[in-house]
Amino acid sequence: MRLPYALAAAIIFLLSAGLCLLAASFAVTKVEETSEFAVRRALDLQGHDWAEVYSDGLRVVLTGTASTEAVRFNALTAAGTEVDTSRVIDEMEVTPTTELAAPGFSAEILRNDSGISVIGLIPASEDRDALVKRLSDLGNGGPVSDLMETADYPKPKGWDDAIGFAVEALARLPRAKISASPGLVKITAIADSQQEKEQLEQGLMRAAPPSLRIGLSISAPRPVITPFTLRFLIDENGGQFDACSAQDTKARDTIIAAAQEAGLNSIYTCTIGLGEPSPRWPEAAVLSIRALAELGQGSVTMSDADITLVAAEGTDAGTFDRVVGELENALPPVFALHAILPPPETEEEAGPPEFTATRSPEGLVQMRGRLSDASQRDMVDSYARAAFGSEHVYTATRIAPEDLPMTWPVRVLTGLEALAYLHNGALTVTPDNLVLNGVSNSPDTKAQIAGFLSEKLGDAQEFSLSITYQEPPAVPEDTLPDPEACEDRIVEVQAETKIAFEPGSATVAADSRDTVNRIADILRECGPIRLEIQGHTDSQGREEMNQQLSQARAQSILNELRGRRIPTASYTAVGYGETQPIAENDTEEGREQNRRIEFRLVRPEPVENPETGLDAIEAESIEAEQTENTAADADAGDQQSEQN
């Protein structure tokens, strides 16, 4: 009886165990489903629909890719609000962060009479000490204020070219501000004259690497004219200027208009500059010219605030007195008038004493006429030999003290000094007049001599000038032609015969070899200019293929020039494909025009808001020094704080 009882007990135990196991499995599944649902809902409410949730027993596993580390942490926190954090398994990933972009590197260099300052952000790999030494050498060892910061990033493309050219440009510019950044250099500077401005612009354009963009803003301040001079004459042939100065274009136009009303018989323009004795200079000039016109003939000379009005011989005395009186009352304050009415000559009067000097085109100077004494003759002879060369002077003067005025030595020496301005000419000095005729190789000589004679001879002194401008002979070392002219000549050549290529290739057609030769001859004369050789195609075919073909053709022309021994260091070849058509691509004629090679100068870019005045440059220098001093004071304060 005992065996059946034991069997029944075993069966009951097994059934109980199975029921318990089934109940436990059901409970675990319910817990998994409940946990997964609760965590999924919490993530959705927080906007984390990117996260995936699945249960593994009592564990809740989170997967997916978060956009940032903060988003991942927020998702983990949301899951922890529904289940115990020890049950949350984090298998989420974070999107890799992009590499930080390099900062904008740039350097601004300021140079003036006080030294050189440089400020900006440069790559840590830049040899800072070498750069400062190069700048110091430009200033002959002068001070260099180093305000640069560094960043540990690779040098960007074009940085070395920009810094190298900036230092090279600074060597030519004693007062300038240069901003250098990768691939771009902007220059703001001052030149002493318009001629120097043009020379600097051409020199910098030629020196710049072809891949570098440059911006130029070079200004030429107005010259200082001393003395401020105007000389206007009227004779039987009409009116003419020997010299004319004006403080601005408005004053110049006003004076020229008055001269034209008075009979100006040639095109003339006044020199614009600084140094006018009064803002009312143009008013005084107009009144004086009109007074001379009313007299009919004569001359008016203005030297700073002194005005000398000389009437022609034979002018009616009554008219002269009236015109002079009206002019004296009308002139602005500061100006002083000296009026001269020459007395009529009589048959009994003998000819006046004279001193003459001539200078030949070969430079030989001969002096004749009267001098007061032997010491004066020695003085005049010594001055002439010093001015013209001992071997070029011949003296044949005589001593006649009884006929000469006290001012004779001054008039003679002043006349010789004026003669030295001319390439060749003749000087005649009399007690009442100084006459100078000749040829000069400078267009400004006449105005310079007029100002010089007005200053040296003094007030109320008469002189006459007849000076012809003649272009100087060409020197053996002819200057390089203007780059703009070179570009125009190449355009003319291509207007006659364009450069053609074999169909679909970068090989120059045989018929175009002569055209390339002519262009090479022009470029050989032009020297180192910054030139872009551009390749263009029509729109037939794929755009990418057209761009590649245009680049290959531009490079082919560059190689052709190199083969003809043309220095091409400042040239660059660029293909533009079909992006810059000059005609419609709907016709064969239009497509033929679009298939072309162009030679274009690489011109400077305009500098935005240039401030090129001396005050502006000096102000920037002071600001840089103040920044340096502020930084030094801050460092000193930090050191003091550490010591305390």
The SS3 of residue 477 is coil
Give the Cβ contact number of residue 170 at 10 Å.
Answer: 24
CA-only gyration radius of the chain, Å: 45
Asked if residues 30 and 57 have their Cβ atoms less than 8 Å apart, the reply is no
How far is it, in rounded angstroms, from Cα 323 to Cα 339?
Answer: 10
pLDDT at 140: 74
pLDDT at 642: 43
How far is it, in rounded angstroms, from Cα 44 to Cα 102?
Answer: 38
> What mean pLDDT is reported for the chain?
83
pLDDT at 437: 92
Asked if residues 259 and 289 have their Cβ atoms less than 8 Å apart, the reply is yes
Q: For 31-46, how does the pLDDT look when each residue is reduced to its tens digit (9 = 90+)? A: 567 777 788 888 888 8
pLDDT at 96: 76
pLDDT at 636: 47
Tokens in use for 606?
């305009």
Q: Which residues of the chain have pLDDT under 70?
A: 1-10, 12-32, 57, 97-100, 344-351, 402, 460, 473-479, 606-644
Q: Which of 555, 535, 534, 532 is nearest to 602 (CA)?
A: 532
pLDDT at 190: 85
How far is it, in rounded angstroms, from Cα 610 to Cα 51?
Answer: 57
pLDDT at 98: 61
Q: For 592-618, how does the pLDDT look when each residue is reduced to its tens digit (9 = 90+)? A: 999 999 999 988 776 665 444 445 545
Which residue blocks in 420-464 are alpha helix, DSSP H?
Answer: 445-457
Q: Which of 183, 176, 224, 216 is nearest to 198 (CA)?
A: 216
Sign, CA torsion 616/619/625/628: negative
The SS3 of residue 518 is helix
Q: Which of 352, 294, 304 is nearest to 326 (CA)?
A: 294
pLDDT at 436: 92
Tokens in use for 454?
């007005």
pLDDT at 477: 46
